Structure formats: C-alpha cells, structure tokens
Amino acid sequence: MHAPVSEAAKTGHNRPRNAGTPLDPSWFESVGVNASAVERRAATLSGRRSVKKAHQAAWLVQALTCIDLTTLAGDDTPGRVRRLCAKARRPLSDELLTALELTDAPPTVGAVCVYPTMVGPAVKALEGSGVPVASVATGFPSGLTPLPLRLAEIRYAVDEGAEEIDIVITRAHVLNRDWAALYDEVQAMREACGAAHLKAILATGDLKTLRNVYAASMVAMQAGADFIKTSTGKEDVNATLPVSLVMLRALRDYGEQTGYTIGFKPAGGLRTAKDALNWLILMREELGVAYVRNDLFRIGASALLTDIERQLEHYATGRYSANHRHAMG
C-alpha cells in the first residue's frame, strides 16, 4: 500500500495564524440550529459511508498522523512522557511499515499533548522529530482558576517549549451569554501564547445547546483561536458527531467571512479506528480534502492509536493482534 504522508501533514503550522476580528454578535446571535436535522446528517456518516481494504488502510494511516497523542494523568512522570514521545516518533513497527510500504516515509503522530510541567521532558524527547509539543493550560480541565494564573500558566508552557496551547474557556460566559467576557478572555489567552498556536477547548458537553456551541465557536474564532476543540475529555459527554458538525459549520462560516482557515480537534470518546474514519469522513464531506491533514485537523486521543495499529496489522497480515503487542510506550 502506497500512502506516504505529505509534507503538509508532516510539518503542520504552515497556514497563516488567525488574526481574529472585533467581537460581532450579529455573526451568530440570529443563527438557529435544527437539532433533529443535525442528528440526521451526522447519522448518515456512520450508517451509509464506508471505506474498505487498501482505501481503509490509507485513511487510517492519515488518521494516525492527525492524533495528538495525549497523557493527562495525575501520576504522569518524565519517564512516562519520554516513552509516549518514543511512540509518537515511531507509532508503527518496522514490520508493519514494511508491509504497508511506508519505510521511505514513516508516519508520525500530529503532536504530543501533556501538562505544562511535562513540556520540558517532551520537547527534549521529540527533538529533531518534527513532532510539536502541545500543552493544556488555563486551569485545565475546569478553567476556573483566576485569569492572571491561567495566563501565567500559558506563558510557562510556551517558555518550556510548547508550540501549541490547548486552553479551556469559562463555560459560565457561554451559559450567561456574556460574549464580551468570553471574547476578552480568549483574546488575552491568544496574546499570552505568543507564537504558539491556540486551540480553544469549548467543553461542549457543558454548554447545553447546539446554538450555544455555534456561538461559542464563533466568539473563540473572533478572539483569535487557531483551532476550536470539542472537549477536555473530562466532561460527561465529550466529542460527538452532531456537536462536531455544528462546530465545522461555524468555522466554515467564519472562513467565508474572514478568509482564515481554522482547525478543528475532537477529543474525548474517540477510541476505535471506526471513530477515526467517521470523523475523517465528516471533515472530508463538510470541508474538503484539506481538512483531513494535521495542519487543520487533530484528534485528541491515546487508546485510539492502539486500535488503528491493530486494524492496520489485520490488513497487512489477515490476523488481529492482541492489544499488548501495541504498547503506548
């Protein structure tokens, strides 16, 4: 199977930063969301779309390059992070690379995502790989620490070498429809990021309505977010196809208004190769082929990589391997 990863997929960060716009509620206040229609559209993706054999393997390799390989555990250590980074650098075995004819262009994941105190070890472990380090910040996952502390946490992570910052918004601003407060908060975080890309986590499971999801997406982009992200992975409900569809429509509308292409990251709940295929199909059908590359699409996950490896090995050998053959580090 010939499915080399493109240079665009390898390098990432090759698009103009989102400069943002002044806050303009007219872009979203009058927008309604038909929840039933959204759910019907999302259901067609998993119910009526499928890719098989070599095509499926190629799509799964592409999904692998879009993973933000993540560890956000309370017992994370530099050793665990180094092992995860080794997996990020070479996620597929030499045998599997040979079987898939990928030895000339072995794929890597899109990024490694860690807590701020683990950024330093991750940066050192990934040196020379081209894989960026992303850091959660701003009081992740609740985002309820005082704003000066949240901004200081961003600056700390950037100083440690993080190239991407996954911030969390104050959900109360959305629930109270205080768009000015939300805009000012994200704009301040964008400024604190400096050259690092800002991925705004909306925690959509806490936002109650799809209309709120659309509005929060638009405000975050107006404030300068380079990516919008569904979830922290800690909410009761994380990434879903209907929520993702609404967010994609928002970033498409923002792009038509401003000319900026904004990235998208679902996180939480994507655990199987089938999940990865469903989201790739969503991106391809809603936004086009450019949005299945990792400069505009990331998947926040860890266990997902194991299932992708198992499916690729089944394609190559005709047999499913045990999970322990695909350790994360």
Residue 6 near residue 106, CB atoms below 8 Å: no
Split at pLDDT 50, 70, 90, the class of 320 is: confident
**Nearest of 219, 187, 250, 191 to residue 24 by alpha carbon:** 219
Model confidence at 3: pLDDT above 50? no
Residue 38 near residue 210, CB atoms below 8 Å: yes
Strand blocks (E) in 105-162? 111-114, 133-136
- Cα separation, 39 vs 321, in Å, equals 35
The DSSP H or E segment spanning 197 is strand 197-201
Q: Is 265 tagged catalytic?
A: yes
**Per the residue annotation, which of 206, 229, 275, 295 is the catalytic one?**
229
What pLDDT is recorded for position 8? 37
What pLDDT is recorded for position 33? 96
Among all chains, which residue has been given the structure tokens 């390098």?
Answer: 11
Model confidence at 1: pLDDT above 70? no
pTM, two decimals, is 0.93
What pLDDT is recorded for position 5? 35
Name the DSSP class of 302: S
Q: pLDDT: is 169 or 6 the higher one?
A: 169
Model confidence at 13: pLDDT above 90? no
Domains, the chain:
51-323 (3.20.20.70)
| 98 backbone dihedrals φ, ψ, rounded to 5° | -65, -45
Q: Give the number of other CB atoms < 10 A from CB of residue 256.
A: 8
What pLDDT is recorded for position 11? 42
- Residues 152-172 have a mean pLDDT of 98
- Residues 238-259 have a mean pLDDT of 97
Q: Is 229 tagged catalytic?
A: yes
Of the candidate ranges 38-47, 79-88, 161-170, 210-219, the one whose mean pLDDT is the lowest: 38-47
Split at pLDDT 50, 70, 90, the class of 10 is: very low
- Residues 297-313 have a mean pLDDT of 94
Q: Which residues contact 190 (CB under 8 A, 6 or more apart)?
A: 20, 198, 223, 224, 225
What pLDDT is recorded for position 101? 95
The DSSP H or E segment spanning 227 is strand 227-229
**Per the residue annotation, which of 265, 275, 295, 307 is the catalytic one?**
265
Percent of the chain whose pLDDT exceeds 70: 93
Q: Is 307 tagged catalytic?
A: no
- Cα separation, 63 vs 308, in Å, equals 8
What pLDDT is recorded for position 324? 65
Split at pLDDT 50, 70, 90, the class of 327 is: low
Q: pLDDT: is 6 or 263 the higher one?
A: 263
**Per the residue annotation, which of 10, 68, 87, 166 is the catalytic one?**
166
Split at pLDDT 50, 70, 90, the class of 9 is: very low
**Residue type at 169 in one-letter notation:** I
- Cα separation, 4 vs 50, in Å, equals 22
Q: Give the strand pairing for 197-201 and 67-70.
A: unpaired
What pLDDT is recorded for position 34? 96
For the beta sheet containing 164-168, the strands, ordered from the edge strand earlier in sequence to the opposite edge, are 263-265, 227-229, 197-201, 164-168, 133-136, 111-114, 67-70, 299-301
Q: 202-240 pLDDT, tens per residue?
A: 999 999 999 999 999 999 999 999 999 999 999 999 999
What pLDDT is recorded for position 15? 82
**Nearest of 329, 267, 313, 276 to residue 95 by alpha carbon:** 313
